[in-house]
Structure 1
Amino acid sequence: MTTIRTATRSGTRGARITWAHLLVAKLFRKALIRSHRKKGDTFLGQPVLYLTTKGAKSGTVRVTPVGYVLDGPNAWLVVASLGGAARNPAWYYNVVAHPDALSIEVAGKRYDVTAEQLTGDRRAEAWDRITAERPSMAEYQTQTDRILPVLRLTAA
């Protein structure tokens, strides 16, 4: 298993994330998560898990809804896409900074998880599966010049 030692670098181009996106996310994070949970852990018809991380700088516990693709029993593939932005999402840096402080909630069940960043052939295989199930990920990749990190979360 490859542990995450350093974060994948940001790109030089990508989808524009405006201050309005960030403000809405910050102000309505709890309400959005409650709403997602009531609707069966989906967003726009796609499955969502709730990733709990420890803030890379603040140490504050954060919960973030993240789309996923199942990867066998008790394993989930997630992509740090941030909608194709030039930079990685904050939750990704939290995972890198505190890989020992991760948990997820899926379908009402909580799991402590370990994260593995996939590379090489394993990433290519996972990427093919992810983009087959979630075509938006392929679109996000075309919007940025960074390689979107693919993480495999496994129940501990």
Structure 2
Amino acid sequence: MAADWNQQVIETFRANGGEVPQFGRRLVLLHHLGARTGTARVSPVMSFPTEAGWLVVASKGGAPEHPAWYRNLLAHPEVRIETPDDGEVEVVARELDPAEREDAWRRIIAEAPGFGDYERRTTRVIPVVELARR
């Protein structure tokens, strides 16, 4: 079911120039490779622009485990994204260290309080990943 929903979001993103009704223009389409399989995948993820690129949150809705795309980025950090404003962009993924994450998390919660709800649903620390332009 999640795959169908993701595909609908991807199609809506592409058909509407990056605009998705429930997310506005906050999504990017993350093109990544499976950590074990090397299979090409695309995941829509909410983003938070920075000077270097974008921050994305590996929340998985507060599930007890990290999303697959997060593990894939750790294995294959050089990826590309599709953005509403910049089109396709080559990026390199880097997980924020604890101090950087703390600063970023405050911003993320202020802009998208739902991530605070996800944090309360899980015992894991939800990773924040920077996607910096290459």
TM-score by length of 1: 0.77
Partner of 1:19: none
Unaligned runs of 5+ in 1: 1-23
| Alpha-carbon RMSD | 1.6
Q: State the aligned residue count.
A: 131
SS at match of 2:36: coil
CA contact 1:41–1:106 (8 Å) conserved in 2 = no
1:68 aligns with 2:71: no
Q: Deviations over 1:22-59 (max 9, x none)?
A: xx122454333112333433351341000000011221
SS at match of 2:10: helix
Q: 1:60 to 1:80 in 2, by over 3 A?
A: same
Q: Aligned match of 1:98 in 55, 76, 81?
A: 76
Aligned equivalents of 2:5, 2:61: Cα separation in 1: 18
Partner in structure 2 of residue 30 of structure 1:
7
Identity over aligned residues, as a percent? Answer: 37
Work out which of the residue numbers 30, 43, 49 in structure 2 matches 1:51.
Answer: 30
134-143 or 105-114, which moves further after superposition?
Answer: 105-114
Q: Distance in 1 between matches of 2:22 and 2:8?
A: 16
The CA distance in 2 between the partners of 1:31 and 1:142, in whole Å, is: 28
CA contact (8 A) 2:48 2:55 kept: yes
Higher relative contact order (CA 8 A, sep 6+): 1
Distance 1:43 1:51, change over 3 A: farther
Runs of 4+, deviation exceeding 6 Å:
none
SS of match in other structure, 1:37: helix
Structure 2 unaligned blocks of 5 or more: none
Q: 1:115: which partner in 2? A: 93
Aligned to 1:4: none
Whole-angstrom distance in 1 between the partners of 2:8 and 2:121: 29
